[in-house]
Amino acid sequence: MKTNATYSQFNPKLDLTFERIVDVPKELVWRAWTEPALLKPWFCPLPWKTIDAEIDLRPGGMFRTTMQSPEGKDFPNIGCYLEVIPNEKLVWTNALLPGFRPSTPSPTCGDEQVDFKFTAMIELADHPSGTRYTATVIHADETGRKQHAAMGFESGWGTALDQLVAMIKKGI
């Protein structure tokens, strides 16, 4: 599963990122990201829900979720894992389908007016207080970055992380 892939340096015009220290072990954060039954309870900021998830945890494998709006409308999302380093790094994109097949345009994160392609990276590192959690999303252009920021990238991904940590503390 481990690869030597490298990614371009952070570009504030194209990329979004945030880092937090969370007081749970990185191995449990990893499980919450990579086991469908554990991903579904926290992956969307409430009142949105993740009602389905499928994970084929390998480069070229599928990362599929179905999000449901508070009004009950379903929004399927499918992507492809690019890099998987257990307990350290998870990289996926919505620009590719499983098997690295190019994807066709589709609404992003449940917004039919928004269609941007991105690559997302979750990086986990040991920290004296638990885990250093870094989420980075790189975009193809400034428009996609601006759309993602306007959708509430930091607050949405941050809320989802808070939900993940709360789930772990309740016991998984």
pLDDT for 4 beyond 80:
no
Question: Is residue 52 included in any domain, yes or no?
Answer: yes
Within a domain: 9: no
Total domains present in the chain: 1
* CATH number reported for the structural domain that contains residue 68 in this entry: 3.30.530.20
8 domain-assigned: no
Task: Give CA–CA dist 69/81, Å, rounded.
Answer: 25
Q: What is the pLDDT of residue 170?
A: 96
Collapsing DSSP to helix, strand or coil, 131 comes out as: strand
| Number of C-beta neighbours around residue 120 at 10 A | 18
Dihedral sign of CA atoms 110, 112, 114, 120 in order: positive
Tens digit of each residue's pLDDT (9 = 90 or more) over 15-66? 999 999 999 999 999 999 999 999 999 999 999 999 999 999 999 999 999 9
Q: What is the pLDDT of residues 141-159, one digit of tens each?
A: 999 899 889 888 888 999 9
Residue 2 resides in a domain: no
Domain that holds residue 98: 15-170
Confidence of residue 7 (pLDDT cuts 50, 70, 90): low
6 lies in some domain: no
In a domain? residue 4? no
pLDDT at 125: 98
